[in-house]
Amino acid sequence: MTFASLGLIDPLLRTLDGLGYVTPTPVQAQAIPPILKGLDLMAAAQTGTGKTAGFALPLLQRLMMEGPEVASNSVRALVLVPTRELAEQVQQSFQTYGQDLPLRSYAAYGGVSINPQMMKLRKGIDVLVATPGRLLDLYRQKAVKFNQLQVLVLDEADRMLDLGFARELQDVFSALPKKRQTLLFSATFSEAIRTMASEMLNDPLNISVSPRNAAAKSVKQWLIPVDKKRKSELFLHLYQSKRWSQALVFVKTRKGVDELEGELQRHGISADAIHGDKPQATRLRALQRFKDGEIKVLVATDVAARGLDIDDMPLVVNFDLPIVAEDYVHRIGRTGRAGATGQAVSLVCADEVQLLSAIETLTQQVLQRIDVPDFIPDHRVPQTLPGGQVVKKPKKAKKPKVASGGKAGSLGRWLESDASAAPAAKAVRKVPSFGGKPVKGGRKA
Ligand code: AMP
């Protein structure tokens, strides 16, 4: 299959050619033709599937072919995203794909001064990528009008609800013209998402794709039980003894991110951090330095890392388990992309056993445990069983097993650069298309 066979116009085909995109990804093959026809769409797809081009390309084409020139303070297509990083990234994609088209795109998000954004909107913007809160501020200050709006895209809709944007989304929807095309992309489909979709979309086409290379994806996942207070010591021990090249490390809180970053730097490890308290420019710089290989360890919260295009990570470390089980799937999706072999290790303390159980239920696997001699926890992590059960009564702490052969294997075998020595890859279950957890309130990270 080619992009030309999907009905894209020449200027877009030339751009794709220049970018080296030869074959459409599954989400692109499924989404582009119906979007070009003007249909509403509900797509189960996460970052890494090529979903951005899946909606950006046909949307740019529709804006070229239909509708009047954009009037001042107006927008013709609105893309709502959960985070500033994603706003920048998605707008960058529009810029790239639309480089030969006479259309203007812009990203507006909170945490930075609103005045330049108001100035920018004066001329009118064909594609506005925005976070919901800042968009509402702009709307209430009459800096943006929706009377020319042709298309609305909700990108990472589940995440917007997780971050507590439900109210803002409702307010935005009520300000939009009823006659429009609406596209909803989400990695997961909870009851709340489906309710929102039924209110927002008009007879939508449903598509579902698994993460890119999901079938061939080989992510070796395991956990190391450890006492909470010894996690950073264990991380340093692993980093140094296993000579990790680069690692993306997820920590639950902003404070925890800063603490680990400081600890690593004190030990001479080049580390940087991204979380919600850091200014936008600092976050983008950290990400760029990580991509350029200037820093070895990038420590992040889930929200800050969400949606960022960090491909081909050899190693993801869950320093803390995520509160929301689906985030585990997103985190480990950073590794093992494009057919590469990836590893995902979780440092798990006794307090986290319920989180572990939720992850194991979601991914339909029990993560294998590897004890690290010298780090056997005083507070044992209760055993978990298939189906999400936790064995209540913790057994007495045993002496470390150095040799393999028992239930817990030897760490050395699995962390060496020879990936074939790692435990057999467990296929991570596709992010569930339907059914899920209720909306989470409050913003984190
Ligand atoms: P996304 O899922 O939209 O975040 O895209 C993931 C990555 O895949 C981005 O770096 C895109 O530039 C890249 N990409 C998207 N579509 C294609 C394609 N058809 N061929 C090659 N790379 C692509």
**Residues 355 and 244 grouped into a single domain:** yes
**Residues 182 and 253 grouped into a single domain:** no
φ/ψ of 344, rounded to 5, equals -135, 115
Distance 53 CA to ligand 1 centre (A): 7
Answer yes or no: is the C-beta of 46 below 6 A from any ligand 1 atom: no
Asked if 176 and 146 count as a contact pair (C-beta separation under 8 A), the reply is: yes
Q: Whose CA is nearest to atom 11 of ligand 1?
A: 50
**Inside any domain, residue 395:** no
**Residues 314 and 421 grouped into a single domain:** no
β-bridge pairing 341-348 and 218-225: parallel
Domain of 57, in residue numbers: 4-208
CA distances, 203 to each of 43, 56, 172, 179 (Å): 13, 21, 21, 13
Average pLDDT on 58-70 reads 95
Q: Which atom number of ligand 1 is nearest to the Cα of residue 49?
A: 2
What does the pLDDT read at residue 418?
Answer: 32
β-bridge pairing 384-385 and 389-390: antiparallel
**Residues 275 and 367 grouped into a single domain:** yes
Number of domains present in the structure of the chain: 3
Lay out the sheet containing 218-225: strands in order across.
Answer: 271-274, 297-300, 247-250, 315-318, 341-348, 218-225, 368-369
d(CA 91, CA 86): 8
Answer yes or no: is the C-beta of 233 below 6 A from any ligand 1 atom: no
Answer yes or no: is the C-beta of 53 below 6 A from any ligand 1 atom: yes
Q: How confident is the model at residue 192 (pLDDT cuts 50, 70, 90)?
A: confident
Say if pTM beats, i.e. exceeds, 0.75: no
**Inside any domain, residue 396:** no
**Inside any domain, residue 214:** no
d(CA 71, CA 150): 13
As a whole number of Å, the CA-based R_g of the chain is 23
d(CA 166, CA 217): 34
Average pLDDT on 95-118 reads 96
Answer yes or no: is the C-beta of 21 below 6 A from any ligand 1 atom: yes
Classified as helix, coil or strand, 4 is helix
What are the pLDDT digits (tens) for 279-306? 777 888 888 899 888 999 999 998 766 6
**Residues 171 and 237 grouped into a single domain:** no
**Residues 278 and 407 grouped into a single domain:** no
Answer yes or no: is the C-beta of 50 below 6 A from any ligand 1 atom: yes
Asked if 354 and 390 count as a contact pair (C-beta separation under 8 A), the reply is: yes
Answer yes or no: is the C-beta of 182 below 6 A from any ligand 1 atom: no
What are the pLDDT digits (tens) for 204-229? 999 987 643 333 356 889 999 999 99
Q: How confident is the model at residue 75 (pLDDT cuts 50, 70, 90)?
A: very high
d(CA 109, CA 121): 13
Q: Which two tokens stand for residue 291?
A: 């991509």
* Domain CATH for 343: 3.40.50.300
d(CA 165, CA 134): 11
Q: Which atom number of ligand 1 is nearest to the Cα of residue 89?
A: 4
Average pLDDT on 3-16 reads 96
**Inside any domain, residue 411:** yes
403 or 206, which is more confident?
206
Domain-terminating residue out of 150, 179, 208: 208
**Residues 438 and 370 grouped into a single domain:** no
What is the identity of the amino acid at 335?
T
Count Cα neighbours of 217 within 13 Å in the Cβ-side half-sphere: 29
**Residues 378 and 410 grouped into a single domain:** no
Asked if 173 and 195 count as a contact pair (C-beta separation under 8 A), the reply is: no
pLDDT reading at 427 higher than 80: no
Of 59-63, 229-233, 301-305, 437-441, which gets the smallest average pLDDT?
437-441
DSSP state letter for 6: G
Highest mean pLDDT pick, 17-21, 127-131, 245-249, 391-395: 127-131
**Inside any domain, residue 265:** yes
**Residues 32 and 169 grouped into a single domain:** yes
Answer yes or no: is the C-beta of 15 below 6 A from any ligand 1 atom: no
**Residues 94 and 126 grouped into a single domain:** yes
**Residues 268 and 318 grouped into a single domain:** yes
Q: Tell which one of 21, 51, 94, 95 to mutate to probe ligand 1, the residue whose CB is within 8 A of the most ligand atoms.
A: 21
**Inside any domain, residue 213:** no
Distance 338 CA to ligand 1 centre (A): 11
d(CA 258, CA 300): 9
Distance 49 CA to ligand 1 centre (A): 7
Distance 85 CA to ligand 1 centre (A): 17
Asked if 134 and 160 count as a contact pair (C-beta separation under 8 A), the reply is: no
φ/ψ of 9, rounded to 5, equals -80, 160
Q: How confident is the model at residue 314 (pLDDT cuts 50, 70, 90)?
A: confident
Domain-terminating residue out of 157, 178, 208: 208
Q: Write the CB contacts of 246 (distance below 8 Å, at least 6 apart in sequence).
A: 290, 293, 296, 297, 298, 313, 314, 315
d(CA 295, CA 299): 11
**Residues 184 and 318 grouped into a single domain:** no
**Inside any domain, residue 261:** yes
CA distances, 287 to each of 21, 47, 270, 271, 345 (Å): 24, 16, 13, 11, 21
Q: E-strand spans in 269-367?
A: 271-274, 297-300, 315-318, 341-348
**Inside any domain, residue 194:** yes
